Amino acid sequence: MKKELLMGTALVSTLGAASVAEAVTATMSGNHQVGVEFDSPTSGTDTNAQKNDNNFTVSLSETTDGGMTISSSFKLMDEGSASGAVSGDMDAGLTLAFTDGSKLDVIAGGNASSSHAVSVPGSAGAEGVTVTSSNVAPTGLDFMNASTDLGIEYHSAADFLADGLSVSFSASTDTGAAATTTYRTDSHYAIGATYVTDLGDSAVTIGAGVSASEGSKLDTAVTNDNAGIHVGLSAVTGDLTVAVGFADGEQAGLSDNGSDEMTANVVKAGVKYVSGDLTFNVGIANGEATDNTIGSSGGKDDSVDKTSASVSYAVASGVTAILGYTTVEATDEGVATDDGSAWYIGANMSF
């Protein structure tokens, strides 16, 4: 009996020591946003729908004796919503943070151009007006920033070469698999930069990026792969934030079967004002695009003009009530369509 107790004690001690040696620091964060959207298309039937946005992220991190931090993260989600691709379940790769303040993302590094896109205020609600699937006009500044999961991204430390300047570089490659009838991104490279400075009482941020990629599609040569530039400016003066952004580029592999490509540009502007527990957001976005079947030229114009606004109220710590409104005017192949507006009322709980 004594031998069994001694063996059990030794086993527990060994496992305990092993768990301490192999454990990393884990933290959890996320949000649960739930509300109701009231959608009113100009040519269609008014509809009401519940809107949910749930996120749960586990972040893992540990620091070596040399001071380098190794970190990664993953999201818990419904298996039915995962795409099956490496990035489909939103798992991150590895991030190595060095003692000089620089970082290296290894595997699923992302796109350095996207990392430096300026955030432009718009409605904090989950409302939106659905446009026809053939309307490809974008409203985001990073629509052309494709990449693959087999890549890295390097982030410089702050004050790189000049006070307030930070830069990033990224590159990725393909899996080596044969081309299929659906367009895919095979490789990319991108650079991005952010410059932060004070101008009187305002903190000014300038962000810009350049990205280019190559892709393939069975039996069809692409006229324009994903490529483009973006630049944005944000100024914060006390509780007021004003931001503008512009992007121009090409994108391939559009629509459900990856059969289209386009040239496009986007202009965005927005304002956010915080007054105590209240936050007011107003934003506009204009996207224009000319789309074609992959390998062809010509095409007709698509456009989306979106105006959005919201009021958010901090009800309690981590709990925010949101009232949002969005209106859209759109054209598809040069013909006006899909105009309408939508309201949203809901609440977000974050942790």
pLDDT for res 77: 65
pLDDT for res 134: 79
pLDDT for res 90: 55
In 3-state terms, what secondary structure has residue 18?
Answer: helix
Q: For residues 322 and 306, what is the distance between their CA atoms, to the nearest angstrom?
A: 19
What residues have CB less than 8 Å from 121, skipping those under 6 apart?
A: 241, 243, 270, 271, 272, 281, 282, 283
User: Tokens 């519940």 belong to which residue?
Assistant: 50
pLDDT for res 22: 64
Q: What is the pLDDT of residues 82-138, one digit of tens each?
A: 433 334 455 678 999 999 999 999 988 889 999 999 999 999 999 988 888 778 899
pLDDT for res 301: 87
pTM here?
Answer: 0.83
Q: What is the pLDDT of residues 297-307, one digit of tens each?
A: 777 788 999 99
315-320 long-range contacts, CB within 8 A, separation 24+: 315/347, 318/349, 318/350, 318/351, 319/347, 319/348, 319/349, 320/347, 320/348, 320/350
pLDDT for res 130: 83
Nearest to 168 by CA among 119, 91, 115: 115
Q: Is 255 exposed, middle or buried (0-12, 13-18, 19+ CB in 10 A)?
A: middle
pLDDT for res 5: 39
* Bridge partners for 152 per DSSP: 106, 171
For the chain, residues with pLDDT lower than 50 are 1-20, 79-88
Sorted by where each begins, the domain ranges of the chain are 27-350
Q: For residues 246 and 287, what is the distance between their CA atoms, to the nearest angstrom?
A: 10
* Bridge partners for 241 per DSSP: 236, 272
pLDDT for res 120: 97
Span 27-350 CATH architecture: Beta Barrel (2.40)
